[in-house]
Structure 1
Amino acid sequence: MRPFILNSLLGATAALALLPAAVTAKEPATVDAAEIHARVLSLDGHADVLLPLTPSRYALPQGGSRVDLPHLTAGGVDAIVLSVAVGPGPRDAAGVAAARRDADAKLAKIRGFASANPTRVGLALTPADVTRLHGAGKVAVIVGFQNARSLGKDVSQLDTFYREGARVFGLTHAGHNDFADSSRPGDAPASEHGGLSPLGRQAVARLNDLGALIDVSQLSDAAFAQTLQLTRAPVAATHSNARALIDDARNLSDAELDAIKANGGIVQVTPFSAYVHRITDADRARLATVRTRHGLPASFVTYSDGAAALPADKRDAALDDLSRNRPRGTLAEYIDHLDHIARRIGWQHVGIGTDFDHGAGVTGFDSEAEAGNVTAELVRRGYTEPQIAAIWSGNFLRVWAAAQAAAKR
């Protein structure tokens, strides 16, 4: 493993403060991007966990995970947030119980990943743990949480997941739940709670008290704004992009980016093709053909629109076919979003959060094994080594430390 270029979080903050607010400096032409990548601590701020029943469209084309130990090692990725995430579904007692079983299974798999590789992987509960594990030559695994549907209406379960090691918490995924409205309501009305529900407001306060890092990706615009009004700690959008480049509700508007800067938080950019690639007429025609093949309307906003309403025995086949035929973004398009955010609010508020193993991946960055390509593109665009170190991990560690410092236990 590689030595971390910043000796401590405090030292990192001091060093970063001396750098310009905008990306202006150019690395010398002789700079070796691979050497820079080998020196910096690379951290992926959001990835999913594959279970035996996870649809195959989320795995690599040949099968398997994009974030397993061989891929992490090949890409020189030193730390990763693996999320205990559940998808949309019923919110009755049976639906909540099923979601909780999925969440518990993912938590067990994350723990098993560390316990099965004790000399190479360790669980991190603090930013200091990340640097300690890195210094010991281990991949640091941080447990994330996504979608309070698995909690039903029980705010106290946030404490349970925190005790089990979760440190990064996002309240929503696709579909509203009892805590908050989602940026992707599906077939539901655009708003159920007008943003956060009373439970969601309690959750923000409780997460602050625990010292957990609040993840604002996937929230509706109203829920996002209310969370930033309520929180007393910086937040992270762990897997979000720029709405100014791709007008999608999952992406953040410039006003939301500005709000994250004012909050002291971070936006971790995701290589998710649907959120970085501008769909072409040819893309649209190809997907229309696929959609009609499965009994869906040819016209669409998002390529999978309406698929969730198909009968269960037809749904996965349609989604798999659509996934195979969806347009692919490129590494350059991905970094365009990172660039936009860095120029809008400063590179000090930018990071990497892939959302691998849940549909993300672009040409040139389709697994952790290709993480070095991100560094190479950043070097090509003029980012300096200290800026790259901050983008890959320093900014996230700063924000996480600030969230922990706000705890009231």
Structure 2
Amino acid sequence: MMNYMDLHKNSYVVDAHSDIPLHMLMEKGRKGSGDILISKHLPLLKQGGVNLVFVNTFENLHPEGSLKEALIEISEVYRQLENTEEAMFIRTKGDLDEAISKNKIGLVLSMEGMEPISNELGLIDVFYELGLRSAMLTWNWRNYFAAGVSEGGGLSRLGKDAILKMEKLGIIVDVSHLNEEGFWDIIDLVKNPIIASHSNAKAVYNHERNLTDEQIKAIAKTGGVIGLNGYFTEDKEKESIESFMKHLEYILKLAGEDHVGLGFDFNEYLGSKGTKDLEDCTKIPIVTKELLNRGYSESTIRKILGENFVRVLKNILPS
């Protein structure tokens, strides 16, 4: 049997949810902060063996403030990428192939809530041109498009139009943070694979942010992927690699090996202590070790580590 570190190093590893742009915004202009992407995040990602990461904008302001913050976050990522050859934005299948062949860390631009769009659907086209390739309609609260897990109600007419536009453009629909009514509205609309970038199983731990069995199976039926989150695996003080693995194995059994991935939501750099033994991306090889120790095949482990999310990207990205 292959050593777990050798297997990890020889696998393509994807983290489907990261708040790196928010951290870059917070550090922008702070004396001595430097290029935080290059000085902090890329070294950690390399140490954890991460090849590709979904980097999401996140705003919780009024629409004009959210729009400004999102644009600043994106511009800061572009600026810092100009100063390194180690990472690149993934906008097309060709970009993905280049990142793989040249062993560069790929960044997929995502949006955690469409507050920056306000009620102007045309701004989705603008963000697409800036590189947006994955998006959630909302975070935990209601906006013009949908309601998050903390509120009731399905998609608005504008929300349904946004989903159709995302599908037409080639933006992955991400259902993490969405409530159940909105989720099933999306299932009725989509033709492409959808993802839950950072969600776990409600049957294992009954938290509003986790997915029901029916939701998990519906995502799999679209050809999509559920990215396992490092949080909401157990009562906060009990979260651990063991509770994380319970969710991973449950969803793996329910959805199948082609529909499970990783979306840790590491944010120790924003002040979170993180889950025990999964505090930051340098700990991802522990998941590989756990999977190997539990008897999963190398091919199944490679799918979970990243191949499943790569499949979805290749299905939706333009040539």
After TM superposition, the score normalised by the length of structure 1 is 0.71
Question: What is the aligned partner in structure 2 of residue 205 from structure 1?
Answer: 164
Secondary structure of 1:100 counterpart: helix
Q: C-alpha distance in 2, partners of 1:239/1:127?
A: 23
Q: Does the 8 Å CA contact 1:110/1:143 hold for their aligned counterparts? A: no
Mapped to 2, the partners of 1:103 and 1:348 lie a distance apart of 32
Equivalent in the alignment of 2:59: 86
Q: Measure how far apart 1:210 and its partner are.
A: 0.1
The answer as to 2:283 corresponding to 1:373 is: no
Task: Return the letter of the residue paired with 2:233.
Answer: V
Task: Please tell me whether the aligned partners of residues 271 and 360 of structure 1 are also in contact (alpha carbons under 8 angstroms).
Answer: no
Tell me the SS of whatever aligns to 1:80.
strand
Aligned partner of 1:332 in structure 2 is 242
Equivalent position of 1:115 in the other structure: 82
The whole-number CA distance in structure 2 between the counterparts of 1:200 and 1:121 is 33
Counterpart CA distance in 2 for 1:198 and 1:182 is: 16
What does the per-residue CA deviation read over 1:229-255, in whole Å, with 9 as the maximum and x for residues that have no partner?
A: 101111010010000011111100001
Give deviations 1:263-284, integer Å, cap 9, x for gaps.
Answer: 1111001111xx102x2xxxxx
Unpaired runs of 5+ residues, structure 2, are: 28-35
- Counterpart CA distance in 2 for 1:128 and 1:339 is 33
Quote the Cα distance in structure 1 between the aligned partners of 2:94 and 2:243: 33
- 1: distance between equivalents of 2:188 and 2:157? 14
Structure 2 distance, partners of 1:67, 1:84, is 18
Is contact 2:114-2:135 (8 Å) kept?
no
Q: Work out which structure has the larger RCO, using CA pairs closer than 8 Å and 6 or more positions apart in sequence.
A: 1
Q: CA deviation at 1:130?
A: 2.5
Tell me the residue number matched to 1:283: none
Question: Structure 1 residue 236 and structure 2 residue 195: aligned?
Answer: yes
How has the CA–CA distance of structure 1 residues 97 and 223 changed in structure 2, closer, same or farther, with 3 Å as cutoff?
A: same
Tell me: CA distance 1:360–1:215, structure 2 relative to 1, closer, same or farther (3 Å).
Answer: farther
Which of the numbers 115, 136, 142 marks the counterpart of 1:149?
115
In structure 1, give the amino acid aligned to 2:254: R
Counterparts of 1:249-260 in structure 2, within 5 Å, are 249-260=208-219
1:341 to 248, 251, 254: 251
Choose which of 216, 226, 233 in structure 2 pairs with 1:276: 233
Kept after mapping to 2: 8 A contact 1:270/1:360: no
Highest CA radius of gyration, 1 or 2?
A: 1
Q: Distance in 2 between matches of 1:71 and 1:377?
A: 21
For residue 200 of structure 2, give the secondary structure of its aligned residue in structure 1. coil
Superposition pairs of residues 217-236 of structure 1, within 5 angstroms: 217-236=176-195
SS of the residue aligned with 1:173? coil
- Aligned residue in 2 for 1:8: none
Alpha-carbon distance in 2 for matches of 1:349, 1:113: 33
Aligned equivalents of 1:207, 1:159: Cα separation in 2: 9
Alignment: residue pair count: 305
**2:12 corresponds to which residue?**
41
Q: Are residues 268 and 79 of structure 1, via their aligned partners in 2, closer, same or farther at CA, if it must alter by over 3 Å? A: same
Deviation of the 1:67 alpha carbon: 7.1
Alignment of 1:130-141 (within 5 A): 130-141=96-107
Offset of residue 328 of structure 1: 5.2
Q: How far off is 1:99 after superposition?
A: 1.1
Give the direction of change, closer, same or farther, for the CA distance of 1:67–1:154 in structure 2 (3 Å limit). farther
- Equivalent runs, 1:261-272 vs 2, <5 Å: 261-272=220-231
Structure 2 distance, partners of 1:197, 1:145, is 19
Cα distance between partner residues in 2 of 1:360 and 1:244: 25
Shift of 1:173: 0.7
Distance 2:245 2:98 in 1: 30
Conserved in 1, the CA contact under 8 Å of 2:93 and 2:317? no
1:165 to 131, 147, 169: 131
1:132 and 1:169 map into 2 onto residues whose CA distance is 23
Percent sequence identity over matched residues? Answer: 26
Give me the CA root mean square deviation. 2.0
Corresponding residue of 2:68: 101
Partner of 2:315: 402
Matched AA of 2:6? E
Separation of aligned partners in 1, 2:40 and 2:260: 21
Deviation at 1:127, TM superposition (A): 4.2
Deviation at 1:374, TM superposition (A): 1.3
Letter of the 2:219 counterpart: I
Distance 2:217 2:48 in 1: 32
